[in-house]
Amino acid sequence: MCSAAKRAPRHKLDLRCYLITASGTFDEVIATATQAARGGAGIIQVRSKPISARDLFELSRRLSRAVYEANPATHVVIDDRADVAAALMRAGENVHGVHVGQDDLPATAVREFLGPDAIIGLTTGTLELVRAVEQVLDIVDYIGCGPFRATPTKDSGRAPIGLKGYPALVDASPVPLVAIGDVTAADAPALAAAGVDGVAVVRGFAHSDDPAAYAREILEAF
């Protein structure tokens, strides 16, 4: 199999440790994100569904400020809602872009809306979807690819990829690829060896007594 030509990164992103926020009170979500950033998490995606646009805006505003104080190098992206991301970015908050799924606004429309400097991530999970990234190569900065295994936090409708499925997807992707879907820190070494650029974790961080140490454990796997 021929590897896809890799586009030079538009942004300097550390995707190794990628936290997606879980449900909980604002204070709980912010505390976990702040500690993960302190431990070196490179990306924090604010999801916390179900949540209104107004609450997502307020949570993201507070979280982004706390994360910046903990680690200015950590990037914050908003799940799905390009409008919320745009409002926060235009207000000068520490928000850098958005992560969209297959049923959200098309990546081309998101890029037009957010401008050239925004970070845009895209959810995939099959070889067909990964190959389709070639069509938006100049728009998308990285892809999330899953599920690694079945997860109770989100039903994508796609079959689990499993460890053996990632090398072919990494080989086909023209942009950095992050594994997602019930991934834990214990999975990170094997997934790193499979070639992924990072792992996205939800429940592992939410259930950890020490999110900073949990982040460091993931980083060490890469």
Please state the pTM of the whole predicted model: 0.94
CB 16 within 8 A of CB 222: yes
Instruction: Confirm or deny that 50 is annotated as ligand binding.
Output: no
Percent of the chain with pLDDT over 90: 88
Instruction: Confirm or deny that 25 is annotated as ligand binding.
Output: no
Distance, CA of 69 to CA of 67 (rounded, Å): 5
Distance, CA of 206 to CA of 147 (rounded, Å): 18
Q: What residue spans of the chain are helical by DSSP H?
A: 26-38, 53-70, 82-90, 107-114, 127-132, 166-172, 188-193, 203-206, 211-221
Q: Residue 24 has what DSSP assignment?
A: S
Q: Hey, what CATH class is 17-215 in? A: alpha beta
Residue type, 94: N
Closest CA to 219 of 14, 9, 1, 7: 14
Instruction: Confirm or deny that 182 is annotated as ligand binding.
Output: no
Domain ranges of the chain: 17-215
Instruction: Confirm or deny that 104 is annotated as ligand binding.
Output: yes
Q: CA 56, 54, 83, 74 torsion: positive or negative?
A: negative
Instruction: Confirm or deny that 45 is annotated as ligand binding.
Output: yes
Instruction: Confirm or deny that 74 is annotated as ligand binding.
Output: no
| Per-residue model confidence (pLDDT) at position 44 | 98
| Per-residue model confidence (pLDDT) at position 216 | 98
Residue 83 has pLDDT above 70, yes or no: yes
| Per-residue model confidence (pLDDT) at position 156 | 66
Instruction: Confirm or deny that 210 is annotated as ligand binding.
Output: no
Q: How far from chain centre, in Å, is Cα 35?
A: 17
Instruction: Confirm or deny that 32 is annotated as ligand binding.
Output: no
Instruction: Confirm or deny that 138 is annotated as ligand binding.
Output: no
| Per-residue model confidence (pLDDT) at position 3 | 72
Mean pLDDT, all residues of the chain: 94
Distance, CA of 86 to CA of 92 (rounded, Å): 10
| Per-residue model confidence (pLDDT) at position 199 | 98
